[in-house]
Chains A and B, each alone.
Chain A
Amino acid sequence: MSVNSQNFKRADAKDIEEMEIISQNQGISQNDESYLKITFKRFVRNKMAVIGAIVFIVLIIVALAAPLLAPYNPDLTVGTFTAKPSSQFILGTDEVGRDVLSRLIYGSRISLFVGIFSVLMYTIIGTSLGLLSGFLGGIVDTVVMRITEVFMSFPYMMVVIVVVSLIEPNIGTVTLVIGLLGWPPLCRLVRGEVMKLKKADYIQAAISSGYSTPKILFKHIFPNVFSPILVTMTFGIATSILTEASLSFLGVGVTAPTASWGNMLTNAQSLTVLQTQIWRWLPPGIMILVTVLAVNFMGNGLRSAIDGEAK
């Protein structure tokens, strides 16, 4: 599935181009770099994916440079209560006189932090368990699969809400809980891939040559399951950002005074705020949408590039 339309003529031209790239690299086609190059070229051809990647990079820069970019301290009262947007406060102020624009800029830190680190965490857990469970099989596999089944029969969002709110709602807990609960789907994916790979001749050869299990797992199997993991991670970041925003919106995620895009919308549940103070809830909502959209476009582009063709 691709975002941009592709008519047959263009697809043909692309195929030729691709064949050329492959033939150019024929002599060194075993080289990893050529594969990376081809994948990268395919990714760059997908306009929406490139736009997504650029937006994502800009957001990371904004998050890192927040203190330089924000006109005010996001947590302090700097103006009158609920002031309309003006030249002094470009996006107005909230109910205690904090600058909405500054809070918006600092909010990017929360979304990106939770998105990236929770996914890194569950990728490590899910990949290790998936590798082990798929490669070793037997009792290890049975136990790990039963555990994933239990995890997956919890309604994810409900469990996250309960756990985060009961422990202590803050950015660390949100990241930790998403990181600890999110691994089962990835674990199953990696396990499935490993089971397929295990039958491959080169793995069988490695096993019969007496290579140690860790060496086979990390040197021969892991590089071959890396692509699907990377795609899952990208989509995972989008989901985690949405989860954090929903939690914070409900008041059980990142809580005030710390600004998060989700909790900036909490007050819009009051109909007065919703109707008369649009500057307070529209910008953070749009920021969440744009960020998640960018990450999803990126993930989609990555998937098509790795699969080899834009379906």
Chain B
Amino acid sequence: MGKYILKRILIMIPVLLMVSFFSFLIINMAPGDPADLYVSPDMTQAQIELTRQKLGLNQPLLVRYGLWLWNTVQGDLGFSFQSRIPVTQVLPSKISATVQLMLVTLVFSYLIGIPLGVLSAKYKNSWFDNLMTGFNFLGVSIPNFFLGLGLIYIFSLKLKLLPTGGMVTLGPSGGSLGDRINHLILPVIVLSTFYISNMIRYVRSSMIDIFQENYMRTAVAKGLPQRKVLLKHGLRNSLVPIITIISSDIPKLLGGAVVTEQIFNWPGIGQLMMLAINSRDYPMLMAINLLAAVAVLIFNLIADIMYAVVDPRIRY
């Protein structure tokens, strides 16, 4: 197992190298000069050149990528073009905001999605199952920005129950746990709708397959209580395929976070990314791309490890 994990981590290195190189290529081939941000109309051509030199923009692409890589390996992600402070100083608070949002979304989706999926499978083709199927279709078809705006309209503007955005209420009244939870509710609903829909669908089909297994019939035949059959024999065995889905949906969750953070003014990585794009903040964009790729790879690894945990038959 330890050897397997080590091997997987080593495979990540070439993948990350390729990801970072492609990102670098795309970002640097784009039209528009980041030096423009630093140039004021009264600067001479020589001064502009000097600025470009200081930003390292006048060297060939490969040299710049090499430099970036060398610095990154040493933990230096460069200075943000826009705010002119080190990228590594900006990132932690943004990462924590996004991780908070994503973790709550994940936990919430499991808590809602798994039981609904199990019930949907148990009462297959009942009114409840049909309701869930309908919900699935809506959940994967509604654009998250439309859902977000709709929820703000109903719950924040009309009913005045929840805040319209941000992480805490500004001023002395904000920052309590209740206040934080209030700010989380709407973004988490928006972000988890897609996730819950998928979860219900996968848990349902996975459970229906397992109902056909002989050991399930045996469990029922020997008179085990229904709950025990369902949860101990059924759900446990359906976990393996569910884990695959969860890990493969993580990139989608990250993508969804960009839109959700934008709508709810959530100060996370997604919002930072949109800012970086609009100001052509290349070091920041590179850092965010790298971070996102690392997150995806780590989740894939966690999924592989979890397989072995939930299914002892799988050995690496």
- The residues of A with any CB-CB pair to B shorter than 8 Å are 1-7, 149-150, 152-159, 161-163, 165-168, 238, 242, 245-246, 249-250, 252, 262, 265, 268-269, 271, 274-275, 278, 281, 285, 288-289, 292-293, 296-297, 300, 311
With A157-B254, A250-B258 in contact, do A163 and B26 touch (Cβ < 8 Å)?
A: yes
Max chain B Cβ within 10 angstroms of own Cβ: one of A3, A153, A167, A245: A153
Sorted nearest first, the 6 A-B pairs with minimum C-beta distance are A157-B255, A166-B30, A285-B146, A155-B251, A292-B141, A155-B254
B255 near A250 with CB under 8 A, answer no
| B14: min CB distance to chain A, Å | 8
A1 near B296 with CB under 8 A, answer no
B289 near A158 with CB under 8 A, answer yes
Residue of B nearest to A167 (CB): B30
Contact of B133 among A1, A166, A238, A246 (CB under 8 A): A1
Instruction: Check if B245 is an interface residue, CB within 8 A of chain A.
Output: no
Question: Which residues 1-37 of B have a CB within 8 angstroms of A?
Answer: 15, 18-19, 22-23, 26-27, 29-32
Known: A168-B31, A245-B143, A262-B145. 20 other contacts (CB 8 A): A1-B133, A1-B201, A3-B130, A3-B133, A154-B19, A154-B251, A155-B295, A156-B255, A157-B254, A157-B258, A159-B289, A161-B273, A161-B274, A242-B141, A242-B143, A250-B262, A269-B262, A271-B164, A292-B143, A293-B137
Residue of B nearest to A286 (CB): B146
27 contacts between A and B (CB under 8 A): A150-B18, A150-B19, A153-B15, A153-B293, A153-B300, A154-B293, A154-B296, A155-B252, A155-B293, A155-B295, A156-B255, A157-B251, A158-B273, A158-B288, A161-B274, A162-B277, A166-B26, A166-B32, A167-B31, A245-B145, A249-B259, A262-B143, A285-B150, A292-B142, A293-B137, A296-B140, A311-B208
A289 near B141 with CB under 8 A, answer yes
Instruction: Check if B302 is an interface residue, CB within 8 A of chain A.
Output: no
B261-282 interface mask toward A, CB cutoff 8 Å, 1 = contact, 0 = none? 0110000000001100100100
B contact residues around A269 at 8 Å (CB): 149, 262-263
A155 near B125 with CB under 8 A, answer no
Interface size on B, residues (CB 8 A): 57
With A153-B300, A166-B26, A285-B150 in contact, do A293 and B259 touch (Cβ < 8 Å)?
A: no
Residue of B nearest to A288 (CB): B143
A289 near B153 with CB under 8 A, answer no
Contact of A156 among B26, B145, B252 (CB under 8 A): B252
In the complex the two chains form, what is the Cα distance from A161 to B285 in whole Å?
Answer: 11
A165 near B277 with CB under 8 A, answer yes
| B1: min CB distance to chain A, Å | 22
| A145: min CB distance to chain B, Å | 12
Residue of B nearest to A161 (CB): B258
A contact residues around B235 at 8 Å (CB): none
In the complex the two chains form, what is the Cα distance from A2 to B143 in whole Å?
Answer: 23
Classify the secondary structure of A's interface with B.
helix
B133 near A275 with CB under 8 A, answer no
Question: Which residues 104-131 of B have a CB within 8 angstroms of A?
Answer: 125, 127, 130
Instruction: Check if B69 is an interface residue, CB within 8 A of chain A.
Output: no
B143 near A246 with CB under 8 A, answer yes
In the complex the two chains form, what is the Cα distance from A166 to B157 in whole Å?
Answer: 35
A contact residues around B273 at 8 Å (CB): 158, 161-162
Instruction: Check if B51 is an interface residue, CB within 8 A of chain A.
Output: no
B contact residues around A158 at 8 Å (CB): 254-255, 258, 273, 288-289, 292
| A293: min CB distance to chain B, Å | 4
Max chain A Cβ within 10 angstroms of own Cβ: one of B32, B140, B164, B255: B255
| A115: min CB distance to chain B, Å | 13
Contact of B153 among A6, A161, A275 (CB under 8 A): A275
Contact of A289 among B32, B146, B296 (CB under 8 A): B146
| A277: min CB distance to chain B, Å | 11
In the complex the two chains form, what is the Cα distance from A150 to B14 in whole Å?
Answer: 9
With A250-B262, A285-B149 in contact, do A157 and B256 touch (Cβ < 8 Å)?
A: yes
B144 near A246 with CB under 8 A, answer yes
Instruction: Check if B205 is an interface residue, CB within 8 A of chain A.
Output: yes
| B125: min CB distance to chain A, Å | 6
B157 near A274 with CB under 8 A, answer yes
A289 near B142 with CB under 8 A, answer yes
A274 near B255 with CB under 8 A, answer no
B152 near A274 with CB under 8 A, answer yes
In the complex the two chains form, what is the Cα distance from A292 to B18 in whole Å?
Answer: 34
In the complex the two chains form, what is the Cα distance from A1 to B125 in whole Å?
Answer: 9
Instruction: Check if B134 is an interface residue, CB within 8 A of chain A.
Output: yes
Max chain B Cβ within 10 angstroms of own Cβ: one of A157, A158, A166, A265: A158
| A165: min CB distance to chain B, Å | 5
Instruction: Check if B306 is an interface residue, CB within 8 A of chain A.
Output: no
Max chain A Cβ within 10 angstroms of own Cβ: one of B26, B146, B164, B280: B146
Max chain A Cβ within 10 angstroms of own Cβ: one of B133, B145, B208: B145
| B304: min CB distance to chain A, Å | 13
A contact residues around B255 at 8 Å (CB): 155-158
B140-168 interface mask toward A, CB cutoff 8 Å, 1 = contact, 0 = none? 11111110011011000100000010000
Residue of A nearest to B208 (CB): A311
| A10: min CB distance to chain B, Å | 11
A contact residues around B188 at 8 Å (CB): none
In the complex the two chains form, what is the Cα distance from A154 to B297 in whole Å?
Answer: 9
Contact of A297 among B137, B143, B256, B277 (CB under 8 A): B137
Question: Which residues 37-83 of B have a CB within 8 angstroms of A?
Answer: none
A162 near B297 with CB under 8 A, answer no
A289 near B277 with CB under 8 A, answer no
Residue of B nearest to A4 (CB): B130
